[in-house]
Amino acid sequence: MDPTNTMPLPNDIPLPMPLDQVLGEALLVLSFLAHILFINLMIGGSVLTLACEIAGRKRPDLDKLAHEITKTVTVNKSIGVVLGVGPLLTINVLYTTYFYSANALTGKVWIMIVPLVSIAFLLTYAHKYTWEKLAPFKGLHIALGAMGTLLFLLVPFIFLTNVNLMLFPDKWLEVKGFLSALVLPNVLPRYAHFVLACVAVTGLFLAIYFTRAGYPVEQVFPTLTRAGLRRGFYGVTFGTTLMQFVVGPLVLFTLPPRGTTWHMVGIFVIGAGLAITATVLLWHEVVASDQRIGWRFAPIVALLTCTVLCMGYGRHLYREGAISEHRELVQQKTVEYARLAAAAQRRAELGIDLAPAVGSLGQRVFQSVCAACHQEESVLVGPSLAEIREIYAGNPDGIVEWTRAPGRKRPEYPQMPAFRLPQARLEAVADYILNPSSDEPTTVPSTQPATQPATTQP
Amino acid sequence: MDFPIFHLDFFGNRTLIGVIAIVHVYINHALAVGAAPLILAMEWWGWRRKDPEWDRLAYRVLFVCFIVTTTVGALTGVGIWLSASLVNPAAIGSLIRVFFWAWFFEWGVFVTEIILILAYFLTWKRWTGWRKPLHIALGAALSIMSWLTMAVIVAILGFMMDSGVWPETRNFFHGVFNPIYLPQLLFRTPYAMMSAGLLTLLLTYFLTKRRSELRARAIRFVSLWTLAWTPVCAIGAAWYWRVIPDHMLANIPVSLATQALEGWYLTLAWIIAGSGAVILLVMFWGAAAPRRMPRAALLVPYALSICQLGYFERVREFIRKPVVIEDYMYSNGIRVADLPLLKEQGLLAHATYVPVRAITDQNRLVAGREVFKISCTRCHTSGGINAVTDKLRGLYGPSPWDHDVLISYLATMHNTRPYMPPFPGNDEEAGALADYLMSLSEFPMPLEGAQTGGVQIPARRAEKGAEMISGAGP
């Protein structure tokens, strides 16, 4: 037990895991990285589109470049969203307690992901498809794009807040709504790290995308050269990656200590080391001659891919480190709870078997189904038994028919619902109503199951 | 019981899922599953007839579907997941343990579908001439993938209504091939095709010129398409109707008309059938005399069909009550197997996020409120949509209500209202809940969910008390 009692200890879902834990974790890390790659390209692309379109007010070719970049955004966004299903599913199943608890605690803003991202996507489409039409109103057109970019830059806060909060069950007792969870360490440094990564990855992508063999650079951009484009985008990646060397350590040092292990730090350091090498190569690219620029692309991508794998794995180690103790306690509690529930189930079955049925069938059915609305003397919800006896004297079939398909004779009473019980039971109830005997007590049924007949469904 | 309780006290939690899910169903039936084969048929027809104007119309229909499905369609799909996990994490958490691989497979199908629709859309104008047949093949692959996404999820929906032999065997394939699965699929597939036809009819209003030959031909084409699928839909609907469990059929009147208007449900059923007849009439008209069709007739069928579909989804979700997973979990997230323990020892003893474990005279209302939050708020609010006070007023008139009458109602409400789950607490908690309900009716007080109010756990000494209770028993 947690000696300070500062952490909630819920039960887990008592069903077996559908996949091996290690397989699940590998699936989570890899599918998440695939998803985040395309999200990087979506957000980075949106930012670079905006930057180029603003700069394009002076240089038309940059405006053209912006238009071309946004065409990649609309494709990458769809791939990014659909790839998100895999990690969402896997994190739901591996970390059910943690993920869903964090979601509930930030639920109002969490669910805003749906309208906010929908609107961001629609704005991006509108921005793309009105490029020529709104050319005379460039300011308005840029504003349209900027709104989409702004939404893309806001939504990551929602995700980062959740995946951070999920790791700290003690914080679940302290947060009240999204904003209090947003300011928990270390969401804000992670956000900076993420946005810089978006732009860096996109720069690298566009460096090759626009200068690949099949792309007609000269036709599309009269004043831009292949080398110039490469240099420009490499420069974007180089600059943002340099900034990562400040933000990255900031993220590491602001991590709440619970999940930190030397193993994890080592993985991050290796990743950073690979990134340093990649950055050196990037610098060589940026200052390379027009003829030579681009040949280091493959090693740069390879190195940064390894960096990303290290970061993804290291992050996973942190997650496991942060929650594994708590999860152990949750598992123990879940097993214990299941044992208690099973024992209570056995006691209840025994109770029903041993307890004699009190009263006739008709009386028992009446008490469990009809007594909520019909009493002996006065009106409770519907007419009293005394009245019913008068109306249906000598006509038990009438009661049965009415119960199956009640009409509406008294507008001042609520509508009686239909009760499609078996014929035998309805006849027993009719008989009970029409032929009361004085030795049958009418008791208020308790909620305990022991002496109830097993009538959960008619 | 085991998660912080997200709660919307005005709109109700069902509204959140309902709005997102129904929007998604509108989009995925008419603009994805149904649209892909319809657009494919149009493209193929235009190619056979060597008709570039017709081909352009098909492309523009695709454009509309593409924009809507890759924005609102995709996000409402994720939104169903997010909202259902917020409102009933116990249910979704359980379903993904059973159906993880089904959903994983569905993910693969989704990825393929997205890549195909991107390719189909982006290559339409470029793959002309000798590459047109290739493009048409792409459309065929997309149609199959789209349908496959429906085929997988319907298995899970069917399972929730009737899990067949799965509770005994716990076998994955027994869960997938539950009794509801194939009938529901045989209903939804043609329904999606028909909705796409009706949507495209509506789109001709915007995409073709008034009184043009193109419009007339488009109207005839989609009318014939919709009519062709109608008999399959009728057969599927009849089979689906037959496999719905009897006790769920009994819930249909209330689900169609609400409790207050339950007696009118037959009238409503006739109105719904009537609207179907109107749609069919317009389809016959469109097939036989498209040139004489007024513009209103282009808009009405789709409008009627979305009313029908929204209603159908509401009915389908409601009649499953009081369970969210048949034979396993009630709609309020309480497991069937846990009920004996909770009725014996109370749910406050075993819930995670409650401020009190034992009920005293000082904390009766707080305890009652917590019992309400756990047992009732998945479907009810304290004073908003489907407010519990409205329900009680409907039965027992204005407050003050009789305390004993309330308690006896709590004990039997799962019998008097078959869509209600049994009360999952002990007698003391029923009393506290009755007190809370009575105080609610005199002093309405909105109930805060965890998303704004946070959560509490009991103080240390209360935990020790709970340990002593839960350790008891033979």
Question: B193 to each of A69, A84, B329, how far by Cα in Å?
Answer: 36, 28, 34
pLDDT for residue A22: 96
Is A344 part of the contact surface with chain B (CB cutoff 8 Å)? yes
Residue A374 backbone phi and psi in degrees, to 5: -120, 125
d(CA B37, CA B292): 27
Is B258 part of the contact surface with chain A (CB cutoff 8 Å)? no
Q: Can you read off the two tokens belonging to residue A39?
A: 């999200």
pLDDT for residue A360: 87
pLDDT for residue A409: 84
d(CA B197, CA A190): 48
The answer to whether residue A448 scores a pLDDT higher than 50 is no
Q: A7 in a domain, yes or no?
A: no
User: For A172-206, how does the pLDDT look when each residue is reduced to its tens digit (9 = 90+)?
Assistant: 999 999 999 999 999 999 999 999 999 999 999 99
What b/e readout covers B350-370, taking b as 16+ CB neighbours within 10 angstroms?
A: bbbbbbbbebeeebbbbbbbb
Closest CA to B105 of B22, B176, B186: B176
Residue A161 backbone phi and psi in degrees, to 5: -60, -45
User: For A380-393, how does the pLDDT look when each residue is reduced to its tens digit (9 = 90+)?
Assistant: 889 999 999 999 99
Is A135 part of the contact surface with chain B (CB cutoff 8 Å)? no
Under DSSP, the state recorded for A367 is I
Question: Taking CB atoms and an 8 Å limit, are B352 and A11 in contact across chains?
Answer: yes
Question: Taking CB atoms and an 8 Å limit, are B262 and A106 in contact across chains?
Answer: no
Q: Check whether residue A220 and residue A331 sit in a common domain.
A: yes
Q: A354 in a domain, yes or no?
A: no
d(CA A111, CA B78): 10
Q: Can you read off the two tokens belonging to residue A169?
A: 């069950």
User: For A289-329, how does the pLDDT look when each residue is reduced to its tens digit (9 = 90+)?
Assistant: 888 888 899 999 999 999 999 999 999 999 999 999 999 99
pTM of the model: 0.92
Closest CA to A105 of A199, A38, A23, A174: A174
Q: Check whether residue A318 and residue A202 sit in a common domain.
A: yes
- Dihedral sign, CA of A261, A263, A268, A269? positive
Q: Check whether residue A403 and residue A282 sit in a common domain.
A: no
Lowest-confidence range among A51-55, A348-352, A427-431? Answer: A348-352
User: For B186-244, how does the pLDDT look when each residue is reduced to its tens digit (9 = 90+)?
Assistant: 999 999 999 999 999 999 999 999 989 999 999 999 999 999 999 999 999 999 999 99
Question: Taking CB atoms and an 8 Å limit, are A105 and B454 in contact across chains?
Answer: yes
Q: Check whether residue A259 and residue A327 sit in a common domain.
A: yes
d(CA A302, CA A278): 9
- Range B61-74 average pLDDT: 97
The answer to whether residue A16 scores a pLDDT higher than 90 is yes
Q: What's the alpha-carbon Rg for chain B, to the nearest Å?
A: 26
* The Cα angle at residue A37 between residues A32 and A40, in degrees rounded to 5: 120
pLDDT for residue A456: 42
User: For B261-286, how does the pLDDT look when each residue is reduced to its tens digit (9 = 90+)?
Assistant: 777 888 888 998 999 999 999 999 99
Beta carbons of B285 and B54 less than 8 angstroms apart: no
Which residue shows structure tokens 């993938």?
B145
Closest CA to B91 of B379, B323, B415, B359: B323
Question: Taking CB atoms and an 8 Å limit, are B457 and A81 in contact across chains?
Answer: no
Share of chain A above pLDDT 90, in %: 78
Q: A73 in a domain, yes or no?
A: yes
**Measured between CB atoms, which of A107, A177, A444 is closest to B86?**
A107
Q: Check whether residue A237 and residue A166 sit in a common domain.
A: yes
Please name the residues in contact with A445: beta carbons below 8 A apart, sequence gap of 6 or more. Answer: A367, A368, A371, A452, B408, B411, B412
Assign residue A365 the CATH number of its domain.
1.10.760.10
Q: A80 in a domain, yes or no?
A: yes
d(CA B381, CA B377): 6
User: For B439-453, how does the pLDDT look when each residue is reduced to its tens digit (9 = 90+)?
Assistant: 999 999 999 999 999
Mapped onto helix, strand or coil, the DSSP state of residue A421 is coil
* The Cα angle at residue B244 between residues B239 and B246, in degrees rounded to 5: 130
Q: A151 in a domain, yes or no?
A: yes
Beta-ladder partners of A119: none
Q: Check whether residue A379 and residue A300 sit in a common domain.
A: no
The answer to whether residue A452 scores a pLDDT higher than 50 is no
- Range B70-88 average pLDDT: 96
pLDDT for residue A444: 45
Under DSSP, the state recorded for A259 is G
Residue B469's pLDDT band (cuts 50, 70, 90)? low
Q: Can you read off the two tokens belonging to residue A291?
A: 């003829």
The architecture that CATH gives domain B336-469 is Orthogonal Bundle (1.10)
Q: Check whether residue A367 and residue A330 sit in a common domain.
A: no
**Measured between CB atoms, which of A10, A175, A372 is closest to B412?**
A372
Q: Check whether residue A328 and residue A385 sit in a common domain.
A: no
Residue B156: Cβ within 10 Å count: 19
Q: A12 in a domain, yes or no?
A: no
Question: Taking CB atoms and an 8 Å limit, are A107 and B107 in contact across chains?
Answer: no
Instruction: Tell me the residue range of the domain where A239 lies.
Output: 21-339
Question: Taking CB atoms and an 8 Å limit, are A446 and B1 in contact across chains?
Answer: no
Closest CA to A62 of A49, A44, A46, A76: A49
Please name the residues in contact with A266: beta carbons below 8 A apart, sequence gap of 6 or more. Answer: none
Looking at the structure of chain A, the number of domains it has is 2
Chains A, B: CB contacts under 8 A, how many? Answer: 274
Share of chain A above pLDDT 70, in %: 94
Q: Write the secondary structure of chain B as one string of H (helix), E (strand) and C (coil).
A: CCCCCCCCCCCCHHHHHHHHHHHHHHHHHHHHHCHHHHHHHHHHHHHHCCCHHHHHHHHHHHHHHHHHHHHHHHHHHHHHHHHHHHHCHHHHHHHHHHHHHHHHHHHHHHHHHHHHHHHHHHCCCCCCHHHHHHHHHHHHHHHHHHHHHHHHHHHHHHHHHCCCCHHHHCCHHHHHCCCCHHHHHHHHHHHHHHHHHHHHHHHHHHHCCCCCHHHHHHHHHHHHHHHHHHHHHHHHHHHHHHHCCHHHHCCHHHHHHCCCCHHHHHHHHHHHHHHHHHHHHHHHHHHHCHHHCCCHHHHHHHHHHHHHHHHHHHHHHHHCCCEEECCCEECCCCEHHHHHHHHHHCCCCCCCCCCCCCCCCCCHHHHHHHHHHHHHCCCCECCCCCEHHHHHHHHHCCCCCCHHHHHHHHHHHHHHCCCCCCCCCCHHHHHHHHHHHHHHHHCCCCCCCHHHHCCCCCCHHHHHHHHHHHCCCC
Q: A451 in a domain, yes or no?
A: no
Q: Can you read off the two tokens belonging to residue A426?
A: 């309805």
Lowest-confidence range among A1-10, B30-39, B109-118? Answer: A1-10
pLDDT for residue B473: 38
Q: Check whether residue A403 and residue A365 sit in a common domain.
A: yes
Beta carbons of A344 and B340 less than 8 angstroms apart: yes
Beta carbons of A194 and A122 less than 8 angstroms apart: no
Q: What letter represents residue B399's amino acid?
A: S
Residue B185: Cβ within 10 Å count: 19
Q: A6 in a domain, yes or no?
A: no
Question: Taking CB atoms and an 8 Å limit, are B20 and A114 in contact across chains?
Answer: yes
Question: Taking CB atoms and an 8 Å limit, are B457 and A114 in contact across chains?
Answer: no
Beta-ladder partners of B329: B325, B335
Give CA B266 to chain center in angstroms: 23
Residue B466's pLDDT band (cuts 50, 70, 90)? low
* Average pLDDT taken over every residue of chain A: 91
pLDDT for residue A387: 92
What b/e readout covers B202-238, taking b as 16+ CB neighbours within 10 angstroms?
A: bbbeebbeeeeebbbbbbbbbbebbbebbebbeebbe
User: For B353-412, how does the pLDDT look when each residue is reduced to its tens digit (9 = 90+)?
Assistant: 999 999 999 999 999 999 999 999 999 999 999 999 999 998 898 879 999 999 999 999
Contact list in A for residue B3 (CB cut-off 8 A) is 10, 97, 100-101, 104
d(CA B274, CA A214): 58
pLDDT for residue B474: 41
Closest CA to B320 of B163, B427, B104: B163
Contact list in A for residue B415 (CB cut-off 8 A) is 368-369, 455-456, 458
Q: Check whether residue A302 and residue A399 sit in a common domain.
A: no
Q: Check whether residue A268 and residue A398 sit in a common domain.
A: no
d(CA A348, CA A416): 32
Q: What's the alpha-carbon Rg for chain A, to the nearest Å?
A: 34
